[in-house]
Homo-oligomer: A and B are copies of this chain.
């Protein structure tokens, strides 16, 4: 029996919060198909390469985010036959959550607001993949400590709260939020230092703790 073979790519949904907006790393296509459209950074997998290794390699090569500790997890695999008009390509999407970093110096690689991207024409099924990644991120903020992956190494409770508010698109009560996250076991580690970079009374600076789960969860307010 002959076994059909397909081309396999890894595509990256890399999200961050910058300029008060949830943003994703995009690659501007400069050739057909989809010339001029945005796409997700990605590329073909090597024959001797594990999937997470390929994701890290492409994060460095295509996204310009080498040697940066970024949370990376597998999102889903997309493989309907006509998603690439040239040939059968199956794509394993990875979701990355990053602090607000300068991306690649290439003009082709840009952070762009998710709200804009979903209103624009995208290459292939990348709008769908982006939407799935955003929804995964929104859901995971509820019951994991991943929100801190959007923050720099040291951050205040208010900065962490802004991450939740921007990713979810809902305001949260600053006082209840503060009690909740500072009370959660191993979510935050106090550094002892303070900052006034947000104005007002000085705020404690925290680092990420080693908790992965958030129990009880921080539930999104329902509309």
Contact = CB atoms under 8 A, between A and B. Distances in A.
Interface of A: 3-8, 44-51, 74, 76-81, 87-88, 90, 92
B5 A7 contact: yes
B3 A44 contact: yes
Stoichiometry, copies per complex:
2
B3 A81 contact: no
A181 B88 CA distance: 45
Nearest to A53: B80
Contact of A76 (B4, B45, B74): B74
With a 10 A CB-CB cut-off, give which of A4, A44, A92 has the most chain B CB atoms. Answer: A4
Contacts of A51: 77-80, 90
Contact of A47 (B44, B45, B88): B88
Contacts of A44: 3-4
A4 B4 contact: no
Contacts of A92: 77, 79, 90
A50 to B, nearest CB: 4
21 contacts: A3-B7, A3-B87, A4-B8, A4-B45, A4-B46, A5-B8, A6-B6, A6-B8, A6-B47, A8-B8, A8-B79, A8-B90, A47-B81, A49-B81, A50-B79, A50-B80, A51-B77, A74-B77, A77-B77, A77-B92, A90-B90
Contacts of A48: 81
A5 B6 contact: yes
Nearest to A44: B3
A171 to B, nearest CB: 21
A45 to B, nearest CB: 7
Nearest to A74: B76
A117 to B, nearest CB: 23
Contacts of A80: 50-51
A47 B81 CA distance: 7
